Amino acid sequence: MINLGTYLGISFALFICGILVMVARKNIIAILLGIELILNASALNFAAYTKFSNNNIDGHIMSLFIIVTAAAEAAVGLGIVIRFFQLRESIHIDDAASLQN
């Protein structure tokens, strides 16, 4: 049961859920949730390849750095959201389209 196929399937499901959340939601924080899902999917992929492909620890390192980067990304992203909220009193993503016109 535990093999590369199932792991890829799970990470695929995570990724698709992430994409769905990212595109369907109009709330910036919800979009960030979707991004976290996608990052998790990729990190899971790296770990799975490590286990089922070559048992080289590099995959774990990659996953670790994905987690690190994801945390940093979440911190900065949420900081931007909060600043945006202070300015616009909204966290609707389409309110951030001020570049238009």
Partner 1 sequence: MSTFNLDVYMPVVILIALALLVAGGSLLLGGLIRPHNPNKLKETAYECGEEPVGSAWANFNVRFYVIALIFIIFDVESALMFPVAAVFKKFNQIGLGGTLLLSVFSFVLILVSGLIYCWKKGDLDWVKSFNSQPQLATKDK
Partner 2 sequence: MDYTFWTIAPIVLLPFFAFVINAFIVKKFTKLAVGISTGAIFVSFLYALRIFLDFMNVYSVGYHIHKVFSWFNLSSGTQLFEVKMGIYIDNMTSVMLLMVTGAATIIHVFSTWYMHDDPRFGRFFVYMSLFTSAMLGLVLSDNLLSVFIFWELMGFCSYSLIGFYYEKEGAGNASMKAFMTTRVGDVFFLLGILAIWAVVGNVSFVDIYNAIASGKFNNLSITVFSMGIPVATLAAFSIFMGTMGKSAQVPLQVWLPDAMWGPTPCSALIHAATMVAAGVYLSLRMYPLMELGHLTTFIAYVGAITAFGAATIALIQTDIKAVLAYSTISQLGYMVIGIGVGSYNASFMHLITHAVFKACLFLSAGSVIHSIHCQEMPQMGGLRKKLPYTFFAMLLCCFAIAGVPFFSGFVSKDRILGDALVLAVGNPVYIPVAILGFGGALLTAFYMFRMLFLTFFGEPRDHHIYDHAHEEHLGWNSNIPLLILSVFTLGLFYSGSFTGQGEVNLFGSKNEWFSTLIHKPDAASLHHFAEYKSEDLGVVDTRDKLELPKAEFDENHGMNEEEAHHVHQIHHFGALMSVFIAFAGIFLAYSMYIKKTINPDWWAQSFAGWRRALQGKYYFDDLYIGKIIQKGLIPFNNFLAWFDMGIYDKYGIDGWEAVNRFAFNVSRWFDNTIIDSAMVDGTGWSVRAMNTVLRWVQSGKIQLYFMVLVFVLAGYVWKLNF
Partner 3 sequence: MFTNTLFLLSAALTIGGAFAVVYSENLMHACIFLLASFFGVAGLYACIGADFLAATQLVVYAGGVVILMLFAIMLTGGTANNFNRFGLEKIAAMGNKKTYFMAGITAVVSSLVLLKIIANVLRNQSSAALEANLPTVERIGTVLATDHILAFEISSVLLLGALIGAAVISRPRTEKND
Q: Which positions from 21 through 60 interact with partner 2, judged by CB under 8 A?
A: 22-23, 26, 31, 46, 49-50, 53-54, 56, 58-59
Under the rule (CB under 8 A), what is the footprint of partner 1?
A: 64, 67-68, 71-72, 74-75, 78-79, 82, 85-86
Question: What is the C-alpha separation between 49 and 51, in angstroms, rounded?
Answer: 5
Give the orientation angle of helix 28-49 with respect to helix 58-88, to 10 degrees.
Answer: 180
CB-based contact 37:15 (threshold 8 Å) = yes
Q: Which positions from 54 through 83 interact with partner 3, judged by CB under 8 A?
A: 55, 57-58, 60-61, 63-65, 67-76, 78-83
The distance of closest approach from Cβ of residue 56 to partner 3 in the complex, given in angstroms and rounded to an integer, is: 9
Q: Which of 37, 63, 49 is nearest to 4 (CA)?
A: 49
